[in-house]
Amino acid sequence: MKNLIICFALGVILLSSCETNNTSNNTPATTIGSDTTNAALNKLTDRIVKNPKEISAFLSRAEYYIRHDKFNEALADVNSALNLEPDNEAIYITLSDVYLYSGKSQRALEALRKASALGPNNALVDVKIARLYLTMSDYKQTFNALRSALKKDPENAEAFFVSGLANEEMGDTLKAIDSYQMAVARNQQHYEALKQLGILFALKHDKLAIDYLRNAAHLKPESPDPLYVLGMFYQENEDADKALSVYNEILVIDSTFKLAHYNKGYIYLVYKQDYAKAIDAFSEAIKLDTQFSDAFFNRGYAYELSGDAKKARQDYEAVLRMKVNNDNALKALNRLDDK
């Protein structure tokens, strides 16, 4: 096989190696305008209308706005809560999230320091401070905050999880695994810790990855991310049939997950030499992303191997329209010319 392009995603944040995709989930984010989100927002608003002095109602709607990148609206709800109860540490914790996710790290830190002053025994505040320092790559302050959190709450699973993230970011995989395992020991339903353990063991080609990823998938059956890593684990370890089975599981959950279609195509092309099925799978990926140059290239190769030089040429030329002077596509066209 010549110059095939495989998509894989194994990292702290699930990422695809294909240049055309660099997010963990290729399903578009839900927008405020959809029916589902309108219903959720209306429910939160009704709660506030019925209980205009309930702090948690304002904070719940603020958290909703944060998730949907509506930071001005979130800030308005936090301010409403502060007007009702200016010395409530929970309000400052939510305020820190508004600032953090809107890119105002220093103001987020100020809000957390206020929350810490109001609730000096609250380990959650220290964990959030640690996460904030981690976004700044300030590892010394990250671990200082985590030590403070664990002194207040030695069984805090989230503190161990953040420790794992920090160690992984620093390149110490063994310490990261140890921290994630301690998080799971304290909270067996810690989805993120299970997923990260699955990713790290998959990178080591260790079969422990399977159980961790299956457990993560069980906790969030609507999320294809851990299953995608599991499929890649089987694929990288040349168990094509199990990889195909997992990709099909993903497509039952989310038929628009283009990388599952793409990787099915790769397996049919490389491991099965079933060029017709490979073409079909790559075509599904292209329907979902008309600029998916890697899918065009590999579909072109499947056409070439099946003897359809005309369609192969069309796909290779499509790659060049997207990526001028792409070396793989140029070589493929020259190969067709030589034939």
Q: Where are the domains of the chain?
A: 36-119, 255-339
Which has the closest alpha carbon to 213: 229, 237, 234? 229
In the predicted model, is pLDDT for residue 112 greater than 70?
Answer: yes
Looking at the chain, the number of H-run helices and the number of E-run strands are 18, 0
| The pLDDT value given to residue 12 | 32
pLDDT of residue 14: 31
Average pLDDT, stretch 52-65? 96
CA terminus-to-terminus distance, the chain: 17
pTM, two decimals, is 0.84
Q: 255-339: which CATH topology?
A: 1.25.40
> Does residue 220 contact residue 231 with C-beta atoms inside 8 Å?
no
Q: Which residue, chain included where needed, has tokens 């499947």? A: 302
**Cβ within 8 Å of residue 328, ≥6 positions away:** 3, 5, 297, 319
Q: How far apart are CA 43 and CA 171, in angstroms?
A: 44
- Whether 36-119 shares its CATH topology with 255-339 is answered yes
Structural fold of domain 36-119: 1.25.40
Our measurement of the distance from residue 61's CA atom to the centroid of its chain's CA atoms, rounded to an integer in Å, reads 24
Between CA 116 and CA 84 the distance in angstroms is 20
Q: Is the pLDDT of residue 164 over 50?
A: yes
The pLDDT of residue 6 is 53
